[in-house]
Each structure stands twice: as C-alpha cells, then as structure tokens.
Amino acid sequence: MVAVFGSARAEAQTPNFLSGFNNDAAGTVSSERPAILKDVSFKQRLNERLPLDATFADETGRPVRLGEYFGRKKPVVLAFVYYQCPMLCMQVMNGISSSLRALPFEAGKDFDVVLVSFDPRDTPAAAAEKKRTHLDYWAAQSTAQGWHLLTGDAATIARVTAAAGFSYQWDDLTNQFAHVSGVLVVTPEGRLSRYFYGVEYSPKELRLALVESGQGHIGSVIDELLLYCYHYDPASGRYGVIVMNLIRAGGVLTVAFILGVMWLTRRHDSQPPLEGRA
C-alpha cells in the first residue's frame, strides 16, 4: 500500500506495482504513475546491514544507537512510520500487533519491535504518546519493554532508510508523506532478512521470518519443520510451500511409521503367550 494525497490506497503488495491511477479531463483512467510516486519505493536489500552506529532518541528522549537493539541474539521487527501520520502508519502498527497476538513469541523476550520515524519533526514526546496509545489499544502494556519508537534528524533518518531501500516524498499539497507500507525482519546482527508489504502480515509468515532470522534462537521443533517446508520468495515478499520438501518429509514420516509398526509387531510376536510365562 502507499499513502498518496492524504489517503491509503491498495495499489499493490510489492513496490513493483506502485502504479497510480489518474483521471484525465475526459474522465478516462490513466495507468501513468503520479509524479509524487516516481521516487517512492521499498526495494528489497536482503542481507544488507543497517548502519548500527546511527544515533536516535528513544521515546523517553534518551540518546540511543541503533545497534543497541541488535546483538542480543534476538531478531527485530522494523518499520518506518511517522507519528503524526493520519492513517497508513497507524495501520502498519496495528498490522504488526494483530499478527503478534497470534504468535507464541513475546516482544521484549524473543524479539524487539523498532519503529523509526522518517519525519525529522517528530519528537520523543510524540513517540511516547504514540507508544502509549497503541499499547493501550491492544492491551499490550506488558510488552512495552519490547517496543522502541525512535526519532532523529534528517541526515540520520536518510542513512537508515536508504540502507533499507525505503524512499518517500513530502507532498506540499496535502502536507503529508507519500510512502509505501510494510515491515522488515532483521537478524540479530542487523542484516535485512525479510520484507513484508502492505498493512496486514500473515502470523504464519511472520513467525517463520522470526525463527529464520533468529537463527534458531527462538522457535521449536515444529517451527524448524515449517521452515523446511516453506521458502521465502523475495519477488512476492511471501513464504511459499516447497512441494518437494513436503513430499520428502511425508516420505520420511511414512517410512518411520512403517518401521515403528514392524518393530512393535516383532516385539509382540517374540513374547511368549501368557500361559507359558513363569
């Protein structure tokens, strides 16, 4: 999705389809992209590393380095928003919380959520208010230690957004930013691992991304099996089923079942009848 002219429009799920629609004087629809969108994108830069030395202020006003949220053997859910956004950014945050409610993992314990404002006019006070109202709405104040809302100057913001492939434009007509919606999952080392576009994120896919990006530090045997059967497709920004792996897994389980039945049968046949036991 992309915010354009004060509204959120479902143009597409990936940046490759960021085409707007204009009406000409005759009322016909043109597929030409609006000028404001020509420099708006969210390009995948998988395995690139974020500038962890970038310095921001957190919601309390404390100076922090981006690297403080990494190196803890935990993956990070990262999103670029701005705290005065009237619609789309709030939907991104709600999409994150909606997905997290369905996960067996806990923010602050198994992973962190880092929101970086790309509006240099945002303040720590605005970040604190946004965090409070958001967590109150989702009844998630117990996870407050896992949510980090950052603000910074224009140069610092530009370094981090550029590294992540996130570009946006200010629209003087509406006094709002035109930008693409989505979230990233980042490894504990600060490397970009997974991109998800839009404002709704599949809990299953987010779970897989956290387990994969966490390099086994979170998750279970079931999660590892799911990773074996699903593969991330950068072109679509989604996880897809790997049919051959499913077939292999099914074959292994079938063989294991047959061997188990054979072992139980032999064990039963090798035991003497009850009347012959001492």
Residue whose C-alpha is closest to residue 193's, from 234, 156, 153, 225: 234
208, two tokens? 């897989």
Report pLDDT digits (tens) over 207-260: 988 988 887 566 554 545 555 566 566 666 666 666 444 444 455 456 555 666
Q: Around Cβ 21, how many Cβ atoms within 10 Å?
A: 12
Report pLDDT digits (tens) over 48-103: 999 999 999 999 999 999 999 998 889 999 999 999 998 899 999 999 999 999 99
56, two tokens? 């921001």
Q: What per-residue string of b and e applies to 78-100 under the rule 16 or more CB within 10 Å gives b?
A: bbbbbbbbeebbbbbbebbbebb
Any bridge partners for residue 183, and if so which? 196
What is the Cα–Cα distance from 209 to 232, expressed in whole angstroms? 8
Alpha helices in 138-216 (DSSP H): 154-164, 203-213
Q: Cβ-count burial of 159 within 10 angstroms (0-12 exposed, 13-18 middle, 19+ buried)? A: middle
pLDDT of 17: 37
pLDDT of 72: 82
Report pLDDT digits (tens) over 152-207: 999 999 999 999 999 999 988 888 999 999 999 999 999 999 999 999 999 988 99
pLDDT band with cut points at 50, 70 and 90 for residue 9: very low
What is the Cα–Cα distance from 109 to 23, expressed in whole angstroms? 50
pLDDT of 257: 58
53, two tokens? 């030395």
User: What is the DSSP secondary structure assignment for residue 98, as one 8-state letter?
Assistant: H
172: alpha, beta or left, given left = phi > 0 and alpha = psi -120 to 50? alpha
249, 258 Cβ separation under 8 angstroms: no
Any bridge partners for residue 77, and if so which? 113, 185
Q: Which CATH class is domain 2-241?
A: alpha beta
Report pLDDT digits (tens) over 24-56: 445 554 455 566 667 799 999 999 999 999 999
Average pLDDT over the chain, rounded to an integer: 80
What H or E segment, with its residue span, contains residue 19?
Answer: none
Sequence-distant contacts of 224-228: CB under 8 A, at least 24 apart:
225/249
pLDDT of 13: 35
Residue whose C-alpha is closest to residue 183's, from 87, 41, 81, 110: 81
- Break the chain into its structural domains and give their ranges: 2-241, 243-272
153, 120 Cβ separation under 8 angstroms: yes
Those residues with Cβ within 8 angstroms of residue 270's Cβ, 6 or more apart along the chain or in another chain: none
175, 36 Cβ separation under 8 angstroms: no
Report pLDDT digits (tens) over 129-157: 999 999 999 999 999 999 999 999 999 99
50, 157 Cβ separation under 8 angstroms: no
